[in-house]
Amino acid sequence: MLDQALDFRDESDALFGLLDALDGSDWMRTTQFKHWTPNDIVAHLHMGNYAADASLRGAEEFSAFGRRLAEMGRDTGGHLDATHAWLGGIKNRDLLLVWRNFYREMADRFAAAEPKRRVKWFGPDMSVLSSISARLMETWAHGQALYDLLGKIRIETDRIKNIVVIGINTFGWTFTNRGTQPPGVRPTVRLSAPSGALWEWPQPKSDNLIEGAAVEFCQVVAQTRNIADTALRVVGTTATAWMALAQCFAGPPQDPPPPGVRFRQT
C-alpha cells in the first residue's frame, strides 16, 4: 500500500469538504491566483489527475492524452481553455463531483502500484511515488487560493511532509530550471510540523539554514506565498537565493507572487 496515495486522497477530500457548500455565484468568483475561479482550479486539478492516471496506465495512453490536449490548446488558444473544452463545459457542482469520483478511484490505483516504477510526465519521467506526491502537492497548493478566497483557515496535517520533501528535493531544480547553477550546497532545513514534531534535514557542509513552520515552507516552495509574507528564518546567501525563487513543481520557471498579494480574504 502506497501511503502517499492515501495522503493524496485525504488532501483531496479536505478540499472537497471546503467546496461542497459553494453556491452558483461562488464558483465564478476570482481568486488571487491568476484570477482563476474555483471552476478553473477544480478543472485544472482534474485534468492533472487524469494525466497522472493515464501515465499509470501506460506511456502510449499518456502520450495520446497529451497530444489531444495540445490540439485543443491550439484550437482554443490556451491551456486552461483547452482543459475546459476537454471537460465539455462541465462546471460548478457537476464538475466537483466528477473530480471527486475520479480522484478516489485513482487513489486506489496508485495505492496498489509499484512505488519505484517509472511513469511518463509532461517533463522528465518520474516514479509512481513521485507522481502521486506531486498530485498531493498540486492539490494542496491550488487549494490555498480557494481557502484564501473563502476566508477559511485550513486544518493542516502532517501529510504535508510529502510537500516538504518535494521542496527539498527540488533545491537544485529551482536554479537549473532557470539555466543557472545552485549558489552552494542545499541549506539545512529545520521545520515544525502541524503536529508539533520537529522535522530536520541537516546539511553538514552548509552554514545556511531555513527554519520555521513546515506550512510556511510549503507555501514558499509551492509559490502560494512570498517569503516576505512568512515568519521563516532564512540564514545565508544560498538559503536567501533559494527562498526568493523556490519552485517545487515542473514546468517553465515561475516567479513567486509579489509580497502581500496572496493572503486570506475576510
Q: Are residues 63 and 21 in the same domain?
A: yes
The answer to whether residues 197 and 149 belong to one domain is no
**In this structure, are 117 and 216 located in the same domain?**
no
Of 100, 134, 155, the domain-final residue: 155
- Rounded to two decimals, the pTM is 0.97
Look at the chain and report how many structural domains it folds into: 2
CATH code for the domain in which residue 96 is found: 1.20.120.450
Q: Are 11 and 100 in contact (CB under 8 A)?
A: no
Q: How many CB atoms lie within 10 A of CB 226?
A: 19
> Range of 229's domain?
161-245
pLDDT in tens, the chain (266 residues): 899 999 999 999 999 999 999 998 999 999 999 999 999 999 999 999 999 999 999 999 999 999 999 888 887 778 899 999 999 999 999 999 999 999 999 999 999 999 999 999 998 899 999 999 999 999 999 999 999 999 999 999 999 999 999 999 999 999 999 999 999 999 999 999 999 999 999 999 899 999 999 999 999 999 999 999 999 999 999 999 999 999 999 999 999 999 999 999 98
Same domain for 214 and 142 = no
Answer with the one of 118, 134, 155 that is the final residue of a domain. 155
Exposed/middle/buried for residue 89 (C-beta within 10 Å: 0-12, 13-18, 19+): exposed
- b/e sequence 190-219, b meaning 16+ C-beta within 10 Å: bbbbbeeeebebebeebebbbbbbbbbbbb
Closest CA to 238 of 165, 177, 166, 180: 180
| 193 occurs within a structural domain | yes
